[in-house]
Amino acid sequence: MSDQINEKKLITEEKKAASIKGMPVLIFNILFSIAAILGFIFCLIRLSEKVGNPGMWIALLIACALYIFLISPLLFIGLKILKPNEALVLTLFGKYYGTLRGEGFFFVNPFVSATSPEILATSTGTVTTSDSAPQSGKLSLQGLNLPVRASKKISLKTMTLNNEKQKINDKLGNPIIIGIVVIWRVVNTAKAVFNVDNYFEYLSIQCDSALRNIVRLYPYDVSGDDNEKTLRGSSQEIADKLREEIQSKVEVAGLEILEARITHLAYAPEIAAAMLQRQQASAIIDARQMIVEGAVGMVEMALSKLNEHEIVQLDEERKAAMVSNLLVVLCGNKDAQPVVNSGSLY
């Protein structure tokens, strides 16, 4: 029952806020404000001179004062300026009114207020953007490095989340150090503002969770099985699964994950030396296997050529001695030092 109530409270659709062009309203308000000020002064002069009906001048005086001190400020408050890839989430008396998108100069209901998530929050990542708008400072708090804005505008630009490196156990239980970078943007401003408390922090936490879930499904590296996917050898497939995992978790926050990439991958320091020795041993074994296979092939070719051209007749014992000598020469680590035999072998 509680889950159904929570689902009903979630906002799923973003609606467009009612607005008109702001420049005509600005010009109209300035002209009428000037006229109201002149009318206010004129009424004061008439009242001081006691010319005409005093009640009429008092009524005009009150009307001019209302426009100057009440209506004109409200009209100025309703004027909003948006730059490219910016949006304003508006509420009217606590209810979602709509989202103002698109660059330009707009006039909206002066009683609406812009809403944006709180910047102050902890996170394990750093969010960067190409936004060049004026900022009132930078905030760095436990790994979170976010601009502290004086306005309530929501950035629709593509942003990058660079999470800190984490120590996670892979499928085989080996601890590894891994870091990712996530490229994302806001696509539904209503979800981003109302469904989660802070979509910056929410994204960072979900990236950490998704990374742990994905890493535990794959080994860092395996030997002898080329078909098994690994973190080191199947980076593209792992990145795609990671992006899908994060996207499924941040859909409720109105975010779109454009790309997720592994930026750092290494064994943890406590096992790095042992794993390096293991890799070196595996490489040596593979190299020796290739050398032996090549040497056997060369010996086989030499024997077949000797028999084919009938250069020399070798019995089984001499063939065995020749094979032994050739394998020692071909598989040895050092260059062979030939010895000339001037006598008989027996």
Collapse the DSSP code of 215 into the 3-class scheme (helix H, G, I; strand E, B; otherwise coil) and give the result. helix
pLDDT reported for residue 298: 81
pLDDT reported for residue 56: 86
Question: Do β-strands 104-107 and 20-21 pair in parallel, antiparallel, or remain unpaired?
Answer: antiparallel
Collapse the DSSP code of 28 into the 3-class scheme (helix H, G, I; strand E, B; otherwise coil) and give the result. helix
- How many residues does the structure list for the chain? 346
Positions in the chain short of pLDDT 70: 1-8, 118-151, 223-226, 271-275, 277-278, 280-281, 310, 315, 332-346
Task: Classify residue 253 by its DSSP letter.
Answer: G
pLDDT reported for residue 339: 64
pLDDT reported for residue 225: 58
pLDDT reported for residue 275: 66
For residue 175, give every residue at least 6 positions away whose Cβ sits within 8 Å of its Cβ, in sequence order, or none: 167, 168, 169, 267, 268, 270, 271
Note whether 168 and 216 are within 8 A (CB). yes
Task: Classify residue 101 by its DSSP letter.
Answer: E
pLDDT reported for residue 25: 94
Q: What is the DSSP string of 254-310?
A: TEEEEEEEEEEEEE-HHHHHHHHHHHHHHHHHHHHHHHHHHHHHHHHHHHHHHHHHT
pLDDT reported for residue 345: 53
Please report the sign of the dihedral spanned by the C-alpha atoms of residue 20, residue 22, residue 23, residue 27.
positive
pLDDT reported for residue 324: 76
Summarize pLDDT for 89-103 with one digit per residue, the tens. 999 998 999 999 989
Cβ-based burial of 175 (10 A; exposed 0-12, middle 13-18, buried ≥19): middle
pLDDT reported for residue 36: 94
0.85 exceeded by the pTM? no
pLDDT reported for residue 310: 67
pLDDT reported for residue 147: 47
